[in-house]
Amino acid sequence: MKQGWEAFGDYQKLSEQFFRGMADMGASLGLKQNATPPWGEALEQWSKLYGGNATQHSAMFEQLLDQAKSYFGVLQNLFEQKGKVPGTEELRRMVGDFAGRFVNQEPMHQWWSKVQPMLGSLMPDLPKDFGEEALKKLLSAPAFGYAREQQVRLQSFARAVLDFESAQRGYQQLIVKSLEGAVGVMQSKLADAAEPGGKPLATPRQVYDLLIDAMEESYADVAMSAEFRAAYGQLVDAQMRLKSHVNREIELMTGQLGMPTRTELDASHQKVAELKRALRKRGDGVSAAEVAALKAEIAGLKRELAAVKAALAAPAAAPAIAADAVAAPAPVAEAPAVDSVDAPVEAKRPAPRRRKGA
Amino acid sequence: MEALNFDPSKAVEEALSFGRKLSAGAETLFKLDPVHYGATDKEEVYREDKLVLYRFKRKGAPKCKTPLLIVYALVNRPYMTDLQADRSLVKNLLDLGQEIYLIDWGYPDRSDRYTTLSDYINGYIDRCVDAVSARHGGEPINILGICQGGAFSLCYSALHPAKVKNLITMVTPVDFHTDDNMLAHWTRAMDVDLFVDTLGNVPADLMNWCYLTLKPYRLNFQKYVGMVDILDNKTELENFLRMEQWIFDSPDQAGECFRQFIKDFYQGNKLLKGEVELDGERVDLKAIKMPVLNIYAEQDHLVPPSASKPLKGAVGTRDYTELAFKGGHIGIYVSGRAQREVPPAVHNWLMQRS
C-alpha cells in the first residue's frame, strides 16, 4: 500500500486533487476558489455560496458543513500521514478538533458570551492584574457606608463570575481527560485491527467512525465517574448563581425605569396558579356534595324499594304502591358514574343547595 | 498486518464522493418543501389551558371497546407517535382496531411556571381520563404512558386505580438509580432549587443540550456526516429532517413540575421507594392491580432497560407482561421493526384483556 501512497505523491498533491474536484462541482454554481485552499476552506466556500439563501433549510446546511469539517479534519490528517497509522500526536490533533466544537456549543457558555458584553456598567469591574485567589480574597472584604448594599451585591456578582469560570475550567478539564483517554482507546482499537484475525480499516470513513467510537467510549467512562458528577453539578450551580446575579441586576435596572420586573410577574403567575387550584378544589367540593346527595337519594330509594317489596309480599298490598316503586329508581339511573367510596360518611352530610351551572 | 489498509486513490475518491453528495444535497435541501408531521386525521375533544385532548378519527367501529389514552412526556412533542404514515404507532393501532386519544401538553410559557406535578397528574391527566371515559359510558379506560408520561401514568394509576382498566408503559423509567443511567447520574449533584428559582421554566435548549451530551460525538458529529450519505435521496432526507424537527421541537418545562420530578424521581428515586407524594397522598405502586404491559428498548441510552424492568417487582398486579424491543428510545416508534412488532403486541395484549 505504501507504494500506492508514494506513487500518488505528497499530501499537497492529494489536497489539490480533492479541491479540483470540489471546484469543478461548484463552478457551475458560481463558486470562486482560493489558489491553494486547505480542505476545510473548500467547505467554507461552499458555506458562503449557500449562506445568502434564506430558506428554511439553509441553517441546516450550514450546520451540516460545519459537522462535515470534523470528517475532513480526520481525512486531512490521514492524507498528511500518507496512509500510515496515526501516532499519538496526530490522534490528539484529531480529537482536539472535536473538543473545541463540542465545548463551545454549550448553551450557558454561549449565553454568557452573548450577555456579558451587553451588561456594560451592570457588570462588576474586575482588576486584571490580580491572581484568582487574591481577587477572591479582595472580594470577600467587608463593605460599609452608604453604598454598602450595592457593594455587597457587586462583590457577590464578581465572585459568581470567578466561580463560573473556575467551574467551567473544571468541567473542560474532564472533557480533555476523556479525549486523552480516547487517544488510548483508539490506539488499542487500531492495534486490534492489526492483529491476525483483526479487521483492517479499508476507508477513511471507517477510521472516522472508529474514532467516534473511541471518543464515546472514553467519554462514557469519564461521564459516569463521581468526579464528573461533582464537576457537572458545580458547573450547573455556578451557571445558575451567575445567571441569578445577572437577573437581579437587570431587575434593579428595569425597576428604576419603572418597568414591571420578572419577580413581580412571577408573583402574579403564582397567585393565578394558586387561585385556579383553589377554584378547582371548590368546584370539586360542590361535585362531591352532589355525589353525596345522590347517594343519600339512592339509599332512600333503596329503603323505599325494600318497603315496597315487603308490602308486595304481603297479600293486602295495593297495586298502586308497586307502580310507584317501579318508577322511583328512574332518576338514579341518570346519575353520573361515581366511585362508591365513603358512601356512608358522605350520605350523612346534609345535601347543599345545588348551584346553577355547577 | 497493518491497521489501515486503504488505497489512496480510493480514499481521494471517497472524499470526492462526499463532496459530490454535499453538492447534490445542497440542491436537494433548497428544493425541499417544509416537512410536515402527523399522518392521522384527528379531532379535538377537550381543551384546558394549553392542553388539547385529541381523538384520532377512524373508519368503522373499533375492535377494542375500551378506548386507549396516550400520555406522552412533557419533554418533546407527542407527534412522535404519529410522525408520518409509514412510521406511526397511532395509525397502526387504529388499523388494528383501537380507539385512540392523545394528550398534547402544548408549550408551557412563564404563566405555567407554577404548574406542579400534581397539577399535571391529578389535574390534567385526571380530567382527560374523565373526558375520554365520559365519551365511552363512564367506564375505566386503557392508558399508554410513554417515557416521562409513563412515570406519570404509573402515579396516576396508583392514585386512581378504579379509572384505569389496563396500563401500558413504554420506555418508562422506574428505578432512577441504576449504574448505567447517565442522565440520572448527572442530575444527582445539582441544586435543583437554585436551578428552577433562577430559570423559572427550564428552557428547551438546555434540555436538548443535556440529551445531546449523553453521546456528544455520535449525536453532534457522526450523525450529520452520516446524513451526507442520504443527501441525494429526497424521501430519506425528508424523513431525516422530520426527525430533526421532532428532536429539537421541544417545549420548555414548567418550573415547579420539573423541580419535583428531578428531586423526587431522579435524585430521591422515590417512585420505586413508594415515597412520592401528590396532594398529600403517597404514590404506592403496589396499588396498581390492573394488568400492566411494560415495553422497554434494549438499546435505550435515555431510559436504560435496567431503569424500566424493576417495575415488575414494584407493582401490585399479578398480570404483568414485559416486552423487550430490539432498538433504542426513538427507534421504538419510528423504525421498521417497531411498526411490525410494537402495535400488534399492544393490540393483542389489550384484546386479551378487553
Dmax over Cα atoms in chain B, in whole Å? 73
What is the model's pTM? 0.82
C-alpha cell at B113: 411556571
Q: What is the pLDDT of residues B313-327, one digit of tens each?
A: 999 999 999 999 999
A–B CB contacts, 8 A cutoff, strictly below: 221
Buried b (16+ CB within 10 A) or exposed e, B313-329: ebbebeebbebebebbb
Every domain of chain A and the residues it spans:
1-84, 86-259, 287-348
Which string of DSSP letters, residue by residue, matches A27-84? HTTT----SS--HHHHHHHHHHHHHT--STTHHHHHHHHHHHHHHHHHHHHHHHTTTP
Give the integer Cα–Cα distance in Å for A64 and A42: 14
Burial bucket for residue A90 (CB in 10 Å: 0-12, 13-18, 19+): middle
Choose among A70, A203, A212: nearest Cβ to B11.
A203
ipTM over 0.85 threshold: yes
Q: Give the pLDDT of chain A (358 residues) as one tens digit per residue.
A: 444 555 555 555 656 666 666 566 555 444 454 444 445 555 555 555 544 444 445 566 667 777 777 787 787 778 777 778 888 998 998 888 787 777 777 788 888 888 888 887 777 777 777 777 777 887 888 888 888 888 889 889 999 999 999 999 999 999 999 999 999 999 999 999 999 888 889 888 999 999 999 999 999 999 999 999 999 999 999 999 999 999 999 999 998 999 999 999 999 999 999 999 998 888 766 666 677 788 889 999 999 999 999 988 886 544 444 444 444 443 333 333 333 333 333 333 444 444 443 3
Residue B117 and residue B74 in contact, taking contact as beta carbons nearer than 8 Å: no
**Residue from A1, A64, A78, A111 whose CB has the most chain B CBs within 10 Å, to mutate:** A64
Nearest to A341 by CA among A282, A293, A292: A292
Contacts of A101 in chain B (CB under 8 A): 220-221
Domain residue ranges in chain B: 42-189+253-351
Find, among B258, B133, B272, the residue nearest to B193 by Cα: B258
Residues of chain B with C-beta less than 8 angstroms from the C-beta of A82 = 8
Whether B147 sits among the annotated catalytic residues: the reply is yes
Cell of B166: 389496563
The CA angle B37-B40-B46, to the nearest 5 degrees, is 100
Nearest beta carbon to residue B113 from set A191, A209, A269: A269
Give CA angle at A79 (A75, A81), nearest 5°: 120
Could you tell me which chain A residue has the CA closest to the CA of B207?
A107
Residue B295, CB-side half-sphere exposure with 13 Å CA sphere: 26
Contact criterion met (CB < 8 Å) for B198 and A240: yes
Cell numbers placing A28: 457551475
Q: Give the model's pLDDT for residue A346.
A: 36
Q: The C-alpha cell of A339 is what?
A: 366511585
Any alpha helices (H) in chain A, and if so which ranges? 2-8, 11-27, 39-51, 58-80, 88-104, 107-119, 132-139, 148-194, 204-223, 226-256, 262-313, 319-327, 330-333, 343-348
pLDDT for res B224: 87
Contacts of B4 in chain A (CB under 8 A): 1, 78, 83-85, 190, 200-201, 207
Q: Taking CB atoms and an 8 Å limit, are A243 and B215 in contact across chains? A: no
Q: For domain B42-189+253-351, give the CATH number.
A: 3.40.50.1820
Closest Cα in chain B, distance from residue A261 (Å): 13
Which residues face B323 on adjacent strands?
Answer: B295
Residue with cell 382496531: B97
The span from the CA of B307 to the CA of B314, in Å, is 12
Identify the pLDDT of residue A358: 32
Model pLDDT for residues B326-347, shown as the tens digit of each residue: 999 999 999 999 999 999 999 9
Cβ atoms of B120 and B152 closer than 8 Å: yes
B147, B155, B210, B257: the active-site residue: B147
Q: Are B240 and B334 in contact (CB under 8 A)?
A: no
What does the radius of gyration of chain B's CA atoms come to, in whole angstroms?
Answer: 21
Q: B103 has which bridge partners?
A: B53
Q: In this complex, which of B19, B114, B123 lies closest to A25 when CB atoms are compared?
A: B19
Please answer whether residues B316 and B154 qualify as being in contact, where contact means their C-beta atoms are separated by less than 8 angstroms.
no
Q: How many CB atoms lie within 10 A of CB B41?
A: 9
| Min Cα–Cα distance to chain B from A106, Å | 7
A198, A208, A274 ranked by CB distance to B225: nearest: A208
Closest by alpha carbon to B56, among B108, B95, B25?
B95
Q: Which residues of A touch B10 (CB under 8 A)?
A: 203
For residues B222 and B12, give the distance between their C-alpha atoms in angstroms, rounded to a whole number: 20
Closest partner CB to B30 (pick from A57, A106, A240): A57
Which residues in chain B touch residue A21, judged by CB atoms under 8 angstroms apart? 15-16, 19-20
Here the contacts of A227-231 (C-beta below 8 Å, separation 24 or greater) are A227/A174, A228/A174, A228/B186, A229/B185, A229/B186, A229/B188, A229/B189, A230/B189, A231/A167, A231/A170, A231/A171, A231/A173, A231/A174
CB < 8 Å from B in window 238-257 of A: 240-241, 243-244, 247
